[in-house]
Amino acid sequence: MADTKTYSENPMGYKPIPKLLFSLAVPAVIANVVNALYNIVDQIFIGQGVGYLGNAATNIAFPITTICMAIGLMTGLGSAAAFNLELGRKNQDKAKKAAGTAVTMLVICGILICILIRSFLEPLMMAFGATDEILEYAMEYAGITSFGIPFLLLSTGINPLVRADGSAAYSMTAVITGAVLNTLLDPLFMFVFDMGIAGAAWATVISQIVSAALLLLYFPRFKSVRFCAEDFIPRIPAVRTIISLGITSFIFQFSTMIIQITTNNLLKIYGEMSVYGSDIPIAVAGIVSKINVIFTAVVLGVVQGSQPICSFNYGAKKYDRVRETVKILLKSTFLLSVIMFAIFELFPSQIISLFGDGDELYFAYATKYMRVFLFFVFLNGIQIAITTFFPSIGKALKGAFLSLSKQIIFLLPLLVILPRFFGVEGIMYAMPVSDFIAFLIAAAFLAAEMKKMPREI
């Protein structure tokens, strides 16, 4: 048996942290950004080909993608954390069962969500905030992309497992392949075949199938374990472990979905009372949220690169390596956040113009919305890093609380209250206020955890 050799020579436990984090984080950042570009590319081509009503439609449909990301990331990050924790504890069998159970969970959830979306498509689009003019576009786009949901879940959920096995470059390649294909098919289907918004939707589905297939093909090539068919039979203890370790990511994404739906409906209500109307604010909010997804993808890539290191070394009781990883992680995410903040504040109109044309009123609202909504981006990277750190060391409840507090306890009430005083513009003010409060609480949690963590085994 080669198990003992695998554990004793696992690079997570002895390689220099900066080099190890760089090797894991860079492919994860690239993979996440490219994955985020699925929706960004669709939105750019739809904006150029259909107009801002098409952009508004993708914003209305976006909560479906968010709930898929919630389940996919919960399953993927939870199983990856369990995989590395069990390898650190020298429990290879439990590591395999966690990974195999995750794959089966992703397939079952993907099929169920696809059926539900297709069964209740129109009422869902109305509940998500569609106006009469947006509804037809939203139903067409969401109806087609629903076919890709099982593959979206598989590609989202398997990616962290492949990285956990130390093959970050392969996971990156699988995602990039799908995204490049999507970028090529979008203009082909939309403009050459004249399929309009349906072309963008079909391009997304085909690309998701390709990415999922490439990631599934990795399982026979796992380096740290060897899978057999029975490993993919779902185990209730493994399901519980995956959910407990991945619940933070689920809560973050699920609460994001609640925020998206609430924001769309509030923009619809208060937009009607403003000079902008409903459609402009909904379209702008969708564009800015997709831009924010790019920022989050960059930060999460660095965080995901740190997770296997933190999980393995915490499981192996190498606490000094955990501390060193956290310090480098915080410095890296802060630097990246400051760079992104500068770009968002200095070039808002140039970024917005990538997503299509609009009148002077449209660009005035869009520029202000982007600058205000993303004002505390330079602190958000640290907050995201801290929130995701806790599940990687098996303390999922703390991470879940931090995710829940930002989105539901702070942001949601502010979204409801501030527009009463500031109208439609009050919706954009809610985000920076909640960002700042959430950062202070996350920093306090991390300081307390670092103080409690032993310095020696």
Alpha carbons 227 and 282: distance in angstroms, whole number:
47
First-residue to last-residue Cα distance in the chain: 28
pLDDT tens string 254-305: 888 899 899 999 999 999 999 999 888 998 998 898 888 888 888 988 988 8
**Is the CB of residue 309 less than 8 Å from the CB of residue 321?**
yes
Sign of torsion over alpha carbons 99, 102, 103, 104: positive
Locate 224 and state its tokens.
């740290």
Residue 357: φ, ψ to 5°: -90, 165
| Helix, strand, coil share (%) of the chain residues, nearest 5 | 85, 0, 15
Q: What is the pLDDT of residue 54?
A: 83
Give the model's confidence band at 3: pLDDT under 50 very low, under 70 low, under 90 confident, else very high.
very low
pLDDT (mean) for 423-448: 93
pLDDT confidence of residue 15: 85
Interval 158-174: pLDDT, tens: 999 998 888 878 988 89
Predicted pLDDT at 7: 42
**Cβ contact 48:329 at 8 Å:** no
Q: Retrieve residue 380's tokens.
A: 């958000």
CA-nearest of 433, 71, 51 to 250 is 71
Looking at residue 235, the DSSP 8-state letter turns out to be -
Which residues, in sequence order, are CB contacts of 431 under 8 Å at separation 6+? 372, 373, 374, 375, 376, 411
pLDDT of 38 reads: 67
Please tell me the predicted confidence (pLDDT) of residue 262: 93
328 pLDDT above the threshold of 90: yes
pLDDT tens digit string along 77-128? Answer: 899 989 988 887 888 889 999 999 999 999 999 999 999 999 999 999 999 9
Domain ranges of the chain: 16-234, 246-456
